[in-house]
Amino acid sequence: MPRSAILAPRASKLPRPTFDLIHATLPNGLRIVLAPDRSAPVVGIAVLYDVGFRSEPEGRTGFAHLFEHLMFQGSANLEKLAHFRYVQSSGGTFNGSTHPDYTNYFEALPSNALERGLFLEADRMLSPRINEENLANQIAVVKEEIRVNVLNRPYGGFPWLELPPVLFDTFPNAHNGYGDFVDLESATVADAADFFDRYYAPANAVLAVAGDLDPEQTLGLIEKHFAPIPRREAPERPDFGEPPLTAERRASTVDDHAPIPAVALGYRVPDPVRELDAHLANLLLAEALTDGDASRLQRRLVQRDRLVTDVSAYLGEFGDPFDKRDPTLLTITAHYPDAGSLDRILATLDEELARVADDGLDAGELDRVRTKLVSMMFREMDAVITRALNFAKFELIYERAELIAELPDRLSAIGDADAQAAALALQPDRRAIVELIAGGGHS
Amino acid sequence: MSAPALRATVPALSAPRRARKLTTVERTLDSGLRVLAVRKPGVPLVEVRLRMPFLSARAAHAARAALLSDTVLTGTDEYDRASLAATVQRLGGDLGVNVDADRLLVSGNVLATNLRPFLDVVAGVLTGATYPAKEVVAERERLVERLTIARSRAGVVANEALAKRMWGDHPYARDLPEAPDVQAVTAGQVRRMHSDLVRPEGAVLVVVGDVSATRTADVVASALEAWNGAAPPTRVPALPAVTPGPLVLVDRAGSVQSSLRLGAAALRRDDERYPALQLANLVFGGYFSSRWTENIREDKGYTYGSHSAIEHHTLGSSFQMQADVATEVTAPALLETLYELGKIASLPPTVDEIESARQYAIGTLALSTATQAGLAATLGALAGNGMGPEWLAEHPRRLAAVTRDEVAAAAAELLAPSRFAIVVVGDAAAVRGPLSGLVPVA
């Protein structure tokens, strides 16, 4: 290909993924998504329950995450440690994670362990084995998890633990999802039984299986292992919505390990499910702002003005834009060497946002950002386990696993005017700012 | 909680399905560059890994190499920093460079239809990186800031202390450069390093994706035609033997945990005893169902995670064991760690333990090479240590043949606690006393 062809801005044709999806629902309400792909002898199994840390009760911060740990401590037919051992001695890997709106459990396995994996998930959906000893053990483990990821680490939990209490007002949105030690230590076996009964009903879950599978046979295995689980009504899902901010909010936090300061800005953004197009415009804008050396804030704040060491803009608590229902946020974070430069950083940031709002993006800018984004979405979907997790997540949050395959087209429909409107909406009165003060003077 | 409502037995495994055979083309170009092209359908992408030997015993090497890696994409004869990044984005690509004591690694991925223009950009970087002075100066400052941030993490401090304890003055002990060394690096020195070391002779390029292997090898040969030359020979001392000695305790103010690290020499992947050692390490601490994790996490709740890995470097392989534990249980956690090492070195693991580790090793190798990115990374790492793609097919057979006696022998020789260097980073005032009761503390 001649070199000139890559220099000329062009509207690139985005490849469209094709996934054959099979849907089913069991009489007990469990929703099922199958995504067969026989190119490699591996399968991914994901079970998502429609409960995350936004649903945990006051006085029990961190409970949804602690409960996730308890789901690995044995089940109807399995002793403690058996789950791990069965997955790994089958040649597979496992994990689970707790999010604001859901909790996932998953295995990647050689495909000859498919039925075993389904059995393991069904067994704990039927009945986890939670007792005083397991609870005390996992409270200790979770406290070490919080120490290693938050308390003993510079910038630990920043900004996902620091921003929500400033940006939001209600307990579900504002509280610490990792949990206070006092709350964790107060958790009881009875709390766990209540939480399981209320939220871990089959009708409140999605099961997705991707990879080397025969759909008919797999549906038969799923029915065999999951259909005997009794039906319980799914709990009504609360509306976590909050009125928009009317003025900028500011707060600060001291980090005793951090050698240089950092800042996080959280902007309230439109409902990611009901206003998907506005959400996608925000997603493309975030990429244009900070993805790579060609992005606007990298060029301005890092390369030209040298005000910050790094800068990053993303949607959702942990950088997954499709992870959360309303209300969610667009986050911008930066580390910067000079503690006195925060006002200049904020002013420059606002100037750059105003530049997009006033003049729009450059010719070809939206297109290249979109091409890269779609390419990275494909890349993520190469692993059967991420495929299973994503199909389950889109089925749970967006009620349509198929939406993943449609995202390239939906993104292609976002125009310059949409990106401009997205930038215009990122006004100071819609944001919260948390300044992290560096208390670690040992540099 | 509620009593089990059903009685059931865990389903048996069905007959395993074999992975499809890979279509690979290996070719050495006139420049000396070894090219490995692999067809792996899946998503419509291609993964690229270019690995150049970068080992050097020169004192200034680590700092210069780090800055080279941070600035090689900031300008070429054709592009400035932003237009290079924009061009890669437009192709649906990602391109990055990183360096360690062994190698410089250029890694990227791109929509399969755009492989040629992507390789043209890579070729432009290899043959025409300009290292603009203003970019080198700016990145030098940023690198110092990022090193400061890195060293504020207990884990980084602990890993550095362990490397120093194991390898002393050897280049492997200075993976991260020191700030004053970075500050002394000039753009001219980085350009000279590029001219000396960024050369195809001895380098390996792995391309994996939804492309024809033969055609890809042709495209690579054509795109990289202008890249030539060999790096000057380097002389690097052999890796010193890890000597047993007192525990090294590093004080870190305000630590609410202790970072426990243990290291010793292990075996290279091409050693005939390696498959047995791999299984012994898994049984000890290499996966969740290991003795170490079941003991200090699932039984005692001392840690969120413990992990023992065998890491492979150009000059040799080593054990790297890590666990971050609550300050008040630092000594008990070390006690259990030394107990589990002593136990596996003294008594053979059970048949069930070995079978579990064996299936895990075989299964996770298949899982990790089931994606384009995973396969490219694995093939690149193997090639860097002189092994080809046939290793992926042969290794499961070797694992399948390992006997219990071989696992016991490998563990007795290489997992004995007396062989290990031990480092603890934490609140020294709180942990020194209890640790000194167990082992000598420096």
Given a cut of 60, whether residue B6 has pLDDT beyond it is no
Q: Could B20 and A113 be called an inter-chain contact, meaning their C-beta atoms sit closer than 8 Å?
A: no
In a domain, A3, yes or no: no
In a domain, A236, yes or no: no
Which run of H or of E encompasses A374? helix A365-380
Average pLDDT over residues B295-324: 97
| pLDDT tens per residue, range B260-277 | 999 999 999 999 999 999
| Nearest residue in A to B353, CA atom | A89
CA dist., res. B418 & res. A408, Å (int)? 57
In a domain, B395, yes or no: yes
pLDDT at B18: 84
Is residue B363 domain-shared with residue B415, that is, in the same domain?
yes
Residue B254's domain comprises 248-436
In a domain, B135, yes or no: yes
Residue B62 CB neighbours (<10 A): 23
- Give burial (CB, 10 Å; 0-12/13-18/19+) of B311: exposed
Q: Could B92 and A372 be called an inter-chain contact, meaning their C-beta atoms sit closer than 8 Å?
A: yes
In a domain, B10, yes or no: no
pLDDT at B2: 42
Q: What is the mean pLDDT of chain B?
A: 96
Is residue B76 domain-shared with residue B135, that is, in the same domain?
yes
Residue A192's domain comprises 22-226
pLDDT band at B383 (very low <50, low <70, confident <90, very high): very high
Residue A413 CB neighbours (<10 A): 9
Is residue B198 domain-shared with residue B298, that is, in the same domain?
no
In a domain, A4, yes or no: no
The residue type of A82 is: A
CA dist., res. A250 & res. A248, Å (int)? 7
**Closest C-alpha among B414, B370, B421 to residue B392:** B370
Q: What is the mean pLDDT of chain A?
A: 95
**What are the phi and psi torsion angles at A127 (to 5°)?**
-170, 105
Report helix, strand or coil for A185: helix
In a domain, A99, yes or no: yes
pLDDT at B268: 96
Is residue A256 domain-shared with residue A394, that is, in the same domain?
yes
**What are the phi and psi torsion angles at A75 (to 5°)?**
-150, -175
Which chain B residues have a beta carbon less than 8 Å from that of A309? 142, 145-146, 149
Put simply, whether A437 touches B (Cβ < 8 Å) is no
* Chain A: closest CA distance from residue B288 (Å): 7
Contacts of B315 (CB under 8 A, 6+ apart): B55, B172, B236, B238, B239
Tokens 């300009």 — which residue? B130
**Range 132-171 of A in CB contact (< 8 A) with B:** 136-145, 147-149, 151-155
b/e code A235-272 from CB counts within 10 Å (16+ = b): eeeeebebeebeeeeeeebebebbbbbbbbbbbbbbeb
- Strand A249-255's sheet: what is its strand order? A249-255, A431-438, A262-268, A329-335, A310-315
Is residue A184 domain-shared with residue A254, that is, in the same domain?
no
Alpha-carbon distance values, A306 to A334, B138, B211 (Å): 12, 8, 41
The residue type of B31 is: S
pLDDT at A5: 35
| pLDDT tens per residue, range A32-83 | 999 999 989 999 999 999 999 999 999 999 999 999 999 999 999 999 999 9
In a domain, A243, yes or no: no
Is residue A206 domain-shared with residue A260, that is, in the same domain?
no
Q: How many domains does chain B divide into?
A: 2
* Chain B: closest CA distance from residue A72 (Å): 10
CA atoms in the 13 A half-sphere facing the CB of B368:
13
Q: Nearest Cβ partner of A382 from B14, B120, B371?
A: B371
pLDDT band at A12 (very low <50, low <70, confident <90, very high): low
Is residue B285 domain-shared with residue B180, that is, in the same domain?
no
pLDDT band at A6 (very low <50, low <70, confident <90, very high): very low
Alpha-carbon distance values, A158 to A264, A315, A437, B256 (Å): 8, 15, 12, 18
* Chain B: closest CA distance from residue A116 (Å): 5
pLDDT at A145: 97
Which chain A residues have a beta carbon less than 8 Å from that of B71? none
Which chain A residues have a beta carbon less than 8 Å from that of B147? none
- Strand B45-53's sheet: what is its strand order? B23-28, B34-39, B204-209, B45-53, B103-111, B94-99
Which chain A residues have a beta carbon less than 8 Å from that of B154? 152-153
| pLDDT tens per residue, range B196-235 | 999 999 999 999 999 999 999 999 999 999 999 999 988 8
CA dist., res. B99 & res. B317, Å (int)? 18
Is residue B184 domain-shared with residue B118, that is, in the same domain?
yes
In a domain, B234, yes or no: no
Q: Are B261 and B320 in contact (CB under 8 A)?
A: yes
pTM: predicted TM-score of the whole model, two decimal places: 0.96
Is residue A423 domain-shared with residue A371, that is, in the same domain?
yes
Runs of H (alpha helix) within B309-371 = 330-346, 351-368
Contacts of A216 (CB under 8 A, 6+ apart): none
Q: Could B257 and A147 be called an inter-chain contact, meaning their C-beta atoms sit closer than 8 Å?
A: yes
CATH (domain of A415): 3.30.830.10
| Nearest residue in A to B21, CA atom | A40
Q: How many domains does chain A divide into?
A: 2
Is residue B261 domain-shared with residue B397, that is, in the same domain?
yes
Is residue B301 domain-shared with residue B385, that is, in the same domain?
yes
Is residue A188 domain-shared with residue A277, that is, in the same domain?
no
CA dist., res. A64 & res. A75, Å (int)? 18
Q: Could A110 and B154 be called an inter-chain contact, meaning their C-beta atoms sit closer than 8 Å?
A: no
**Closest C-alpha among A112, A96, A114 to residue A47:** A96
Average pLDDT over residues B99-123: 97
Given a cut of 60, whether residue A212 has pLDDT beyond it is yes
Is residue A269 domain-shared with residue A417, that is, in the same domain?
yes
**Range 68-97 of A in CB contact (< 8 A) with B:** 75-78, 80-81, 84-86, 88-94
User: Sign of dihedral through CA atoms B172, B175, B181, B185?
Assistant: positive
Q: Could B256 and A152 be called an inter-chain contact, meaning their C-beta atoms sit closer than 8 Å?
A: yes
Given a cut of 60, whether residue B167 has pLDDT beyond it is yes
Is residue B254 domain-shared with residue B215, that is, in the same domain?
no
Report helix, strand or coil for B17: coil
The DSSP code for B246 is P
Q: Nearest Cβ partner of B4 from A77, A193, A442?
A: A77
Which run of H or of E encompasses B264? strand B257-265
Which chain A residues have a beta carbon less than 8 Å from that of B9? 77
Put simply, whether A284 touches B (Cβ < 8 Å) is no
Which chain B residues have a beta carbon less than 8 Å from that of A307? none
Cis peptide before A327 (omega within 30 of 0): yes
Is residue A417 domain-shared with residue A285, that is, in the same domain?
yes
Is residue A220 domain-shared with residue A253, that is, in the same domain?
no
Is residue A268 domain-shared with residue A194, that is, in the same domain?
no
Residue B30 CB neighbours (<10 A): 9
In a domain, A239, yes or no: no
What is the SS3 string spanning A35-62?
Answer: EECCCCCEEEEEEEECCCHHHCCCCCCC
Put simply, whether A5 touches B (Cβ < 8 Å) is yes
Q: Nearest Cβ partner of A379 from B109, B288, B362?
A: B109
Which run of H or of E encompasses A375? helix A365-380
Q: Could B13 and A126 be called an inter-chain contact, meaning their C-beta atoms sit closer than 8 Å?
A: no
- Give burial (CB, 10 Å; 0-12/13-18/19+) of A398: middle
Which chain B residues have a beta carbon less than 8 Å from that of A257? 152-153, 254
Q: Could B298 and A81 be called an inter-chain contact, meaning their C-beta atoms sit closer than 8 Å?
A: yes
Average pLDDT over residues B417-425: 98
Average pLDDT over residues B362-381: 96
Given A193, A226, A259, the domain boundary residue is A226
Structure tokens, A270:
């439109």
| pLDDT tens per residue, range A222-265 | 999 999 999 999 999 999 999 999 999 999 999 999 999 999 99
Put simply, whether A309 touches B (Cβ < 8 Å) is yes
Mutate to test the interface with A, among B21, B43, B144 (most CBs of A within 10 A): B43
- Give burial (CB, 10 Å; 0-12/13-18/19+) of A441: exposed
CA dist., res. A47 & res. A320, Å (int)? 18
A211: left (phi over 0), alpha (psi -120 to 50) or beta: left
Which run of H or of E encompasses B426? strand B421-426
* Chain B: closest CA distance from residue A268 (Å): 28
Q: Could B16 and A110 be called an inter-chain contact, meaning their C-beta atoms sit closer than 8 Å?
A: yes
Counting one residue from A and one from B, how many pairs have CB atoms under 8 Å apart?
Answer: 279
Mode of pairing for the β-strands spanning B204-209 and B103-111: unpaired
Mutate to test the interface with A, among B90, B157, B251, B287 (most CBs of A within 10 A): B90
Helices (H) and strands (E) counted in chain A, each on its own, are: 17, 11
| Packing angle of the helix pair B404-414, B330-346 (nearest 10 deg) | 130
pLDDT at A1: 31
Is residue B253 domain-shared with residue B179, that is, in the same domain?
no
Alpha-carbon distance values, B380 to A136, B62, B355 (Å): 44, 22, 29
Given A226, A260, A291, the domain boundary residue is A226
Put simply, whether A311 touches B (Cβ < 8 Å) is no
pLDDT at A17: 74
b/e code B94-123 from CB counts within 10 Å (16+ = b): bbebebbbbbbbbbbbbbbbbbbbbbbbbb
What residues does A313 pair with on adjacent strands? A332
Q: Could A148 and B324 be called an inter-chain contact, meaning their C-beta atoms sit closer than 8 Å?
A: yes
Which chain A residues have a beta carbon less than 8 Å from that of B149? 154-155, 258-260, 309, 335
User: DSSP letters along B141-208, please?
Assistant: HHHHHHHHHHTTSHHHHHHHHHHHHHHTTSGGG-SSPPHHHHHT--HHHHHHHHHHH--STT-EEEEE
Given a cut of 80, whether residue A442 has pLDDT beyond it is no
- Strand B421-426's sheet: what is its strand order? B248-251, B421-426, B257-265, B316-326, B303-313
| pLDDT tens per residue, range B425-439 | 999 999 999 999 999
In a domain, B428, yes or no: yes
Is residue A221 domain-shared with residue A258, that is, in the same domain?
no
pLDDT at B3: 42
Average pLDDT over residues B63-67: 98
Q: Could B297 and A141 be called an inter-chain contact, meaning their C-beta atoms sit closer than 8 Å?
A: yes
Structure tokens, B53:
């030997």
CA dist., res. A324 & res. A328, Å (int)? 7
Structure tokens, B198:
């960024």
In a domain, A389, yes or no: yes
Q: Could B363 and A335 be called an inter-chain contact, meaning their C-beta atoms sit closer than 8 Å?
A: no
Report helix, strand or coil for A106: strand
Is residue B194 domain-shared with residue B48, that is, in the same domain?
yes
Residue B4 CB neighbours (<10 A): 15
Put simply, whether A109 touches B (Cβ < 8 Å) is yes
Is residue B295 domain-shared with residue B173, that is, in the same domain?
no
Given a cut of 60, whether residue A11 has pLDDT beyond it is no
Average pLDDT over residues B343-369: 97
Residue B412 CB neighbours (<10 A): 15
CA A117 to chain centroid: 24
Q: Nearest Cβ partner of A41 from B16, B148, B303?
A: B16
pLDDT band at B7 (very low <50, low <70, confident <90, very high): low
In a domain, A5, yes or no: no
pLDDT at A441: 59
Contacts of B159 (CB under 8 A, 6+ apart): B175, B261, B320
pLDDT at B135: 97
Average pLDDT over residues A284-302: 98
| pLDDT tens per residue, range A142-193 | 999 999 999 999 999 999 999 999 999 999 999 999 999 999 999 999 999 9
Is residue A274 domain-shared with residue A319, that is, in the same domain?
yes
In a domain, B157, yes or no: yes
Average pLDDT over residues A304-317: 96
Given B178, B207, B223, the domain boundary residue is B223
CA dist., res. A341 & res. A308, Å (int)? 9
Given a cut of 70, whether residue A195 has pLDDT beyond it is yes
CATH (domain of B431): 3.30.830.10
Mutate to test the interface with B, among A78, A111, A148 (most CBs of B within 10 A): A148
Is residue B262 domain-shared with residue B212, that is, in the same domain?
no
